[in-house]
Amino acid sequence: MEVLVLSRADAERLMDLRALLDALRGAFRALSSREAASPGRTQLDGDGDGILLTMPGRIGGGPLVVKLVTVFASNLAAGLPSHLATIAVHDAATGACEAFLDGTYVTAIRTSAAAAVACDAVARADARTLAIVGAGVQGEHHLRTFPLVREFDDIRIASREHADAERLATADPRARACATIREAVDGADVVALATHAGSPVVDAAWIAPGTHVSSVGYRPPAGELPPELAAVPGLFVETRAAFEPTPVGCAELQGRDPASATEVGEVLLGTRPGRRDDGEVTVYKAMGNIAEDIAAVQLVLEAARREGAGTRVAL
């Protein structure tokens, strides 16, 4: 049995970001129409603050996919990514492993791209100012994906370490580093929280009417999103499983009513409304779902097969 093995470099080279946005729209629709199977992820504790998460899933009659992702915040001090992942793709008829690839890049880019899809679905059409809070891996990818869905002419970046914000700002001529998070957020049309913070990084009072707030951070038991923003009527999630206890759901949504949120896929399917008016504050709270990884992996595998990329390994 031969397995196609793809490295991170392969995944980065083969991933088309605009195609990814379209694929993720399809994944959101599949989740909300119950065409995607995504059993709740499980958690195994490692040393220190580290955890291993398992995420199996399938879309329609496609392959069986499982992702293993580790979250070790202490890695940053050692110069390693805090999030590392691998993804295995299995034939649904035989169970044979068809492909195995690095999932670190896939996870990072699909997270920001999914947030960009949600932004496109519910942010104001005239949004022109973007604030990115966090200048790590997710900050970098948000800077790549969010401008694909809105024509931002002012991009503000804030980070706990100002030097990191300055470094990231050099990646886009529209971007500038702000001295404080408050400065970045003040008057922004879209605020993207992309941190690993265990407590809120913004004050709800800083968010202007009509703003869209996106939050992709995952760090129980609290998280980066203020409780007041998690309680807005315009709350959007990937699935209502986001309200389940961690590690399945989001820390910021614990104890809240799942019926209070709309799934992004429901907006895309037209079964529930998105933004109700230009003055509404909308919030997207991500938990991460294997359907997003599947959508991204399928794009990479299709490109790899067309180009003959990767390495085939006999097991």
CA distance 305 to 173: 36
Structural domains of the chain, ranges and CATH numbers in brackets: 2-106+291-314 (3.30.1780.10), 124-287 (3.40.50.720)
CA distance 11 to 307: 13
Where are the alpha helices (H) located in 160-222, listed in sequence order?
A: 162-169, 181-185
Verdict on whether the full-model pTM lies above 0.85: yes
What are the Cα distances from residue 72, in Å, to 76, 77, 197, 235?
A: 8, 10, 13, 29
Burial class (CB in 10 A: 0-12, 13-18, 19+), 139: buried
Specify the amino acid at residue 62: G
Where are the alpha helices (H) located in 170-207, listed in sequence order?
A: 181-185
CA distance 60 to 30: 8
Specify the amino acid at residue 162: H
Tokens representing 6 are 């793809």
Give me the phi and psi of 13, to 5 degrees please. Answer: -70, -35
Residue 73's pLDDT is what? Answer: 84
- Taking only the tens of pLDDT, the chain with its 315 residues reads 899 999 999 999 999 999 999 999 999 999 999 999 999 999 999 998 899 999 999 999 999 999 999 989 888 888 888 889 999 999 999 999 999 999 999 999 999 999 999 999 999 999 999 999 999 999 999 999 999 999 999 999 999 999 999 999 999 999 999 999 999 999 999 999 999 899 999 999 999 999 999 999 988 889 999 999 999 999 999 999 999 999 999 999 999 999 999 999 999 999 999 999 999 999 999 999 999 999 999 999 999 999 999 999 998
Helix, strand, coil abundance in the chain, percent, nearest 5: 35, 25, 40
Number of helical (H) and strand (E) elements in the chain, helices listed first: 9, 16
